[in-house]
Amino acid sequence: MNLPVRPFVMAVLSVLMPCTAGAVQSVAEGDESDVAIDLDGYGFDDTATFESEVVSQKLPVTAGETQVTSKQIARRMPLCTDEALTLSSGITVVQHGAEGKGHQLFLRGFDAAHGSDVEVTLDGVSLNEPSNIHGSGYLDLYGIIPETIRKMTVHKGPFLPEQGNFATGGTVAFELGIPEAYANGLLRTEVDTFGRTRVVGVATRDGDASRFAAVDGVVDPGFGPDRDAVRTSALAKYSIPVKSAVRFETLALGQLADFSSPGTMALQDVDDGKKGFYDTYSTRGHGAMRRALLQSSIKGDRALTDWGWQLYGIRRSFRLEDNYTGHLLYPAEGDLRRQQHDAFTVGSQVHMTHRAKTSQPFSVSVGGGWRSDRIAQAEHQINARGRIWQTSLSATATLHHLYALTGLAWSPFSWMTLQPSVRIDGALYEVRDGLADQHGTQRFLNLSPRIATAFPVLEKLQLFVAFGKGFRLPEARPILNARDPEDVNLSRYSGGTAAVSGGYASEAGVQWQPADGLKLKLAGYLTIMQKEMVFDHVSGTNLEKNRSRRAGSELEIAFDPSAWLSTAVDATVVWARFVESGNPIPGVPLFLVNMRTHIGKPRGPHGGFDVRVVGPRSLPHGASTNGYVWGIIRSGWRFERFDVTALAENIFFQRIMAGAYHFASQFDDAESALPKIHYAAARPFTVRLALTIFL
């Protein structure tokens, strides 16, 4: 800015300069920028710049809301977006396959498998795949390039009206846009000690963060046998003003991956010395994924009314060959199976928020949308030569999903904000079984009341109370089970009858900021599922169970005493049980602790570490596994135009069972149908070197 008089400049600077970490402004929620002040002609050097982090001062809606900024993601330098999820408190992510297959998620006592209980949106588009053959709600986030994430918001629990299908545990919302630090683009190359190489490039148009193109590629030989992978993705976003306060945006995503499928290893074989910890049974597993997404939207932002309309289409293809059980089920040919899933999605949604001119802040929101998924899937048993010798599933399905919502935001008093809402979802399923030449249809209706209440009783102390209902629409496979059992081969699907899985959740919490740079948050939650669905990794089926209860507490402490130091600690404890039997819900860690520290300024040396402690996990049939500790340490130097960083992962040299399961298998001549612990190994100690060039 050009100021007319030197004394005024000096007066302003005398106020701003003592502020820690730069001036804080509520200009754009979650945005970050460097503010350059033109002081030419006032005795200052032409190159003088003053950095100011522009952060949101907006009150969180619920106690479980967490915002992760692009700066936090850039510091962590994740190889993929799934790793960026762990920057939020209370989330655990593990990979029980090779790079390219969707991760397994854990949140608030939910083993969400590949996404059955965690909704994920990309610029408003839901990425969960309903009724995917490998698991309903299947998520693959490799297509989102971490360097293009402007903000990631995690809403734990189903308390907001826009949270839809699969949000029983919560919702993760990604917003794309190039961070200020990469405003002119970048080139980055990363390589680790096992030969995994990643190359990423980001380009913007005239430094506009909302107009960019990005591409990344990974070649991974794997840290052990049958873990090699090749994947690539491309993203492009274009935003342009149409007229005053109206913008048009379009987003395109393309993604493909080919990867091996290592399966799991029986722990007993490792303990007996038959196999090494990182070995596999070499069962010829392989996977492939293709996806294309195109989204266009128009957004309006006027003084009292915000609105938006969106249209999107998704085309995806998924193939997977795996063998979890050896030759237990089919002694002669073996249990190797091939899953094929092809889907096309088209959808649209609209929303509007109007703020009333009243003495008490008041606004009303309405919205709605529809989505249609056309699915074709098949499952074959194949032999070691890759020939199909049996087909167990060949079906097509069309899923129509419509929803409408309305909500209020009202502050009747200065110390209270109420946000009641209601959402109604309807679905129509049409399924055809190609093997039995049968056709079935079924309709579903779900009503979800919700309310979030915030009490900013003091300037630095806020209380939160929330209640809401989350839901999961059923898979397509059990639709034919609703027919006369005499007409249906029930052996083709054993997951249960087709019904909406609903759950009621509540939480209460407090957020306290006793001093500048210090924030503490404490929350307790309770979720009761009316009908639990537990994903079985062997059959790829959600198994229907009775009611379940999840109760827990979360603690977060964030301490940012200066511009060059930030640290955070969060801890989550959960008690997850089936109501009738009192047995633990399988797969859920008892507790989770994260510790993160970053040291360094935007230029010069920088470093930090992340440590994650995952508690013991209960498994089916009374088994359990021990917890583990995982850590990463990084150190680097940022120059004006490039950065060099070294990262060491699994710094405690632990043999980590990232995925742990309990089922029967037979990979040798010993005949036994007794279940035993199987696991998917996490990456061992690895050193990674990253070189970044800023354009």
Burial of 244 per CB tally in 10 Å (0-12, 13-18, 19+): exposed
User: Hey, what are 657's tokens?
Assistant: 């069972």
Answering whether pTM is above 0.85, one says: yes
Is pLDDT above 80 for 639?
Answer: yes
DSSP letters, 294-333, are EEEEEEEE-SSEEEEEEEEEEEEEEEEEE-SSBTSS-TTT
What is the average pLDDT across 237-262? 94
Residue 387 has a CB neighbour count (10 Å cut-off) of 10
Per residue in 213-226, pLDDT (tens digit) is: 999 999 999 999 99
Per residue in 578-636, pLDDT (tens digit) is: 998 888 998 889 999 999 999 998 899 999 999 999 999 999 888 999 999 999 999 99
Per residue in 176-207, pLDDT (tens digit) is: 998 887 888 999 999 999 999 999 999 998 77
Distance of CA 235 to the CA centre of its chain: 18
CA–CA dist 519, 557 (Å, integer): 6
Are residues 178 and 202 in contact, defined by beta-carbon separation less than 8 angstroms?
A: yes
CA atoms within 13 A on the CB side of 78: 22
Please state, in angstroms and as integers, the Cα–Cα distance from residue 58 to each residue in 61, 157, 292, 462, 516, following that order: 9, 20, 35, 12, 16
Confidence (pLDDT) at 566: 95
Q: Pick from 98, 114, 551: which is nearest to 280 by CA?
A: 98
Q: Pick from 642, 609, 601, 604: which is nearest to 188 by CA?
A: 642
CA–CA dist 519, 567 (Å, integer): 11
Write down the residue that tokens 């919490």 correspond to: 509
Please tell me what DSSP assigns to residue 486. G
Is pLDDT above 70 for 45?
Answer: no
Per residue in 70-110, pLDDT (tens digit) is: 999 999 999 899 999 999 999 988 888 888 888 889 999 99
Q: List the domain boundaries for the chain.
A: 6-52, 65-348+377-382+517-524+546-694
DSSP letters, 81-105, are HHHHHTTSTTEEEE-SS-BTBPPEE
Q: Is the dihedral of CA 477, 502, 118, 128 positive or negative?
A: positive
CA atoms within 13 A on the CB side of 299: 12
| 154-158, 382-386, 449-453, 654-658: range with lowest mean pLDDT | 382-386
CA–CA dist 204, 177 (Å, integer): 10
- Give the pLDDT band (50/70/90) at residue 292: very high
Confidence (pLDDT) at 542: 66
Kind of pairing, strands 604-614 and 591-600?
antiparallel
- Give the pLDDT band (50/70/90) at residue 120: very high
Q: 443 by DSSP, 3-state: which?
A: strand
Is pLDDT above 70 for 8?
Answer: no
Confidence (pLDDT) at 591: 96
Please state, in angstroms and as integers, the Cα–Cα distance from residue 590 to each residue in 94, 228, 587, following that order: 16, 32, 9
Confidence (pLDDT) at 152: 96
| 356-370, 480-494, 513-527, 564-578: range with lowest mean pLDDT | 480-494
Confidence (pLDDT) at 58: 63
Phi, psi of 394 (to 5 degrees): -150, 105
Residue 477 has a CB neighbour count (10 Å cut-off) of 23
Residue 623 has a CB neighbour count (10 Å cut-off) of 17
Confidence (pLDDT) at 44: 34
The helix, strand and coil proportions of the chain, stated in percent and rounded to the nearest 5, come to: 5, 55, 35
Per residue in 568-588, pLDDT (tens digit) is: 999 999 999 999 888 899 888
Q: Which CATH number fits domain 65-348+377-382+517-524+546-694: 3.40.640.10, 2.60.40.10, 3.40.50.300, 2.40.170.20?
A: 2.40.170.20
Q: Write down the mean pLDDT value for the chain.
A: 87
Is pLDDT above 70 for 36?
Answer: no
Confidence (pLDDT) at 115: 86
Q: State what percent of residues in the chain have pLDDT above 90.
A: 68
User: Hey, what are 346's tokens?
Assistant: 């088209």
- Give the pLDDT band (50/70/90) at residue 645: very high
What is the average pLDDT across 159-188? 93
Of 46-60, 65-79, 155-169, the range with the highest mean pLDDT is: 155-169
Residue 48 has a CB neighbour count (10 Å cut-off) of 11
Confidence (pLDDT) at 180: 80
Write down the residue that tokens 């989505």 correspond to: 371
- Give the pLDDT band (50/70/90) at residue 259: very high
Cβ-count burial 574-608 (b if 16+ within 10 Å, e if not):
bebbbeeeeebbbbbbbebbbbbbbbbeeeeebbb
CA–CA dist 223, 614 (Å, integer): 22
Q: Pick from 687, 682, 608: which is nearest to 647 by CA?
A: 687
Confidence (pLDDT) at 97: 80
Please state, in angstroms and as integers, the Cα–Cα distance from residue 191 to each residue in 108, 221, 468, following that order: 34, 11, 45
Task: Using CA atoms of 560, 33, 27, 43 in order, give the dihedral in degrees to the nearest 10.
Answer: 100
Per residue in 455-510, pLDDT (tens digit) is: 998 889 999 999 999 999 999 988 876 544 444 343 455 667 788 988 999 999 99
Amino acid, single-letter form, for residue 501: S
What is the average pLDDT across 537-546? 68
